[in-house]
Amino acid sequence: MNKEKIIEQTATYIKSKLSGEGSGHDWWHVYRVWKNAVHIAESEQTDLYIIELAALLHDIADWKFNDGNDDIGPQMAKEWLERLNVEENVVVHVCNIIQDISFKGAGVATNMKTIEGMIVQDADRLDAMGAIGIGRAFAYGGSKGREMYNPELKPENHNSFEQYKNSKGNSINHFYEKLLLLKELMNTKTARKIAEKRHVFMEEYLSEFFLEWEGKD
């Protein structure tokens, strides 16, 4: 099977698996990450085949919906790619990207080892920023039964993946625990440029949110 067909079948598979998911980790999230990754890759010397497969499969089984198990995603991706008879070196590379892609807490380093991984990680993090990132933050919080905001609960600095996984913070705190940190974590020049604009939008949103919270105009 040629590369184009493998990517097409993978997209179809993920769309069927994630369509209608309500937490912001649905097919359209994957679609945006896929297209953003391809866009970022235009400015880099890289393997687009690896990037497209990793982008499409990066949320095949997110640890947030699998009892904190961050091995299940790479395992399911491996099984799918082997079913398509994808070369072993490609399978290993894609699965390594999926293993390392997630934000695991402000104090936890999640450095990618390859430019392909860096690009997919940037694309995924960009989708957690800006207007869409704001919408996804509240969609996820609602899906987990979390408060939109509680001024009595302050943001936390998570220094381990276990701390981050077990956090039950409200959606506004999530901005300070993750979303506003992403701008400085981008790997590529293209992503940094996009992140700047989205970061400013989130800051403006929060300013308006807190004004309205206090009944001010």
All domains of the chain, ordered by start, with CATH?
A: 3-213 (1.10.3210.50)
8: number of Cβ within 10 Å: 12
| 3-state helix vs strand vs coil in the chain, percent to 5 | 65, 0, 35
Higher-confidence residue of 32 and 112: namely 32
Q: Which of 118, 134, 140 is nearest to 185 (CA)?
A: 118
Is 90 exceeded by the pLDDT of residue 216?
A: no
pLDDT at 42: 94
**Structure-block tokens of residue 47:** 């393997």
144: number of Cβ within 10 Å: 12
What are the tens digits of pLDDT across the range 152-173?
A: 999 988 776 677 667 878 999 9
Q: Which of 37, 34, 29, 48 is nearest to 191 (CA)?
A: 37
* Nearest-angstrom CA–CA distance, 9 and 17: 12
Q: Which of 138, 143, 174, 142 is nearest to 156 (CA)?
A: 174
Name the percent of the chain lying above pLDDT 70. 92
DSSP 130-183: HHHHHHHHHHHHHHTT--S--TTS------SHHHHHT----HHHHHHHTGGGGG
* Nearest-angstrom CA–CA distance, 27 and 15: 5
pLDDT at 72: 87
Average pLDDT, the chain: 91
Residue that is written with structure tokens 């999926």 in the block: 98
pTM: 0.92
Q: Which of 189, 149, 191 is nearest to 170 (CA)?
A: 149
Range ranked top by mean pLDDT from 57-61, 68-72, 158-162: 57-61
